[in-house]
Amino acid sequence: MSTTSTSGTSRGAALPLRVEVARQLSRVRTRWVGVLVVALPLLLWAAFALGGDDDGGAGGGGTNFADLATSSAVNFGVFALLVSSGFLFVVLVALFAGDTVAAEASWSSLRYLLAAPVGRRRLLAVKAVVAGASSTAAIAAFIAVCLVVGTVAYGWGPLTSPLGDALGAWPALGRLVMATAYVVVQLTWVGAMAFWLGTRTDAPLGAVGGAVLVNILSAILGQITALGDLREWLPTNDAGAWTALLQPEVAWEGPVRGLCTAMTLAVVFAVLAVRGFERKDVTS
């Protein structure tokens, strides 16, 4: 099969989005992610229940989000986002994005998809869209389950920050939605890198692990103060900037910088994925 015969998009309609969605929903890893999304909030609640009451109750005397997690459903959701965004969500995004093409190659089904016929760009676009939607749905569902668990366990109330600032329950919910959206968009660079690696290898774990490893290395480099202002160019430098969205007066510098960095890297890796995959021999 030549690389030019399947690089166009004229025959791309042979892979509808609904077909790829059905394929991804049937995957075992998707089902396990669904179990994790429901089970982890319950495990967090159980951990607090077993640990007993602490000083960070509704009185707002806590010194961090963990102390305040049991003060309201929104606080519980913020704590869950805090403990999950640094690693768990990174793995989820890398898993959905890095596995989608590499798994097809490892199963030797990629060549048959392209022979259907399906244009290479169409195939990548459909798989990227479904991978992104799957990651977003998993993260959103996780936060939603946390809010339900938090409401049942701790009641519906305002968001209290470690600094003593408070936001009403409904405005706080809006801020939590914004913070979750920021995390999703900021992780697009991880997904794009995993997706690119997935087009370069037949080993899904290699693509997923490679993206996660780069994220970890970036976080480690971000702790080296000797790098000075160079740390601002690291993609993980503003990964936690979503906390600024929870303040009564939002400081937009960090979130905007984080989104710009993430989106720029995402575009770069997306271009690399398309250019590399168009020239890749998938018949061998």
Q: Is the pLDDT of residue 267 over 50?
A: yes
Distance between CA atoms of residues 201 and 189, nearest Å: 18
- Residue 111 located in a structural domain: yes
Distance between CA atoms of residues 74 and 178, nearest Å: 13
Residue pLDDT, tens place only, 213-261: 999 999 999 999 999 989 989 999 999 999 999 998 898 999 999 999 9
Residue pLDDT, tens place only, 169-216: 999 999 999 999 999 999 999 999 999 999 988 888 999 999 999 999
> Percent of the chain, pLDDT > 70?
84
Contact 51, 133 (CB under 8 A): no
Residue pLDDT, tens place only, 95-124: 999 998 887 766 656 665 665 556 788 888
- Here the contacts of 213-218 (C-beta below 8 Å, separation 24 or greater) are 215/90, 215/94, 215/190
Q: Can you give the residue range of the structural domain that contains 212?
A: 12-278
What was the pLDDT predicted at 184?
97
What was the pLDDT predicted at 6?
40
Contact 146, 83 (CB under 8 A): no
- Residue 60 located in a structural domain: yes
> Percent of the chain, pLDDT > 90?
62
> Strand, helix or coil at 166?
strand
- Residue 142 located in a structural domain: yes
> Average pLDDT, stretch 130-156?
96
Q: How many domains does the chain have?
A: 1
- Residue 20 located in a structural domain: yes
- Residue 5 located in a structural domain: no
Q: Is the pLDDT of residue 161 over 80?
A: yes
Residue pLDDT, tens place only, 14-62: 567 888 898 888 889 999 999 999 999 999 999 999 986 554 444 444 5
- Residue 1 located in a structural domain: no
Closest CA to 194 of 234, 239, 135, 242: 135
The residue ranges of DSSP E strands in the chain, in sequence order, are 159-160, 166-167
- Residue 284 located in a structural domain: no
- Residue 283 located in a structural domain: no
Contact 169, 156 (CB under 8 A): yes
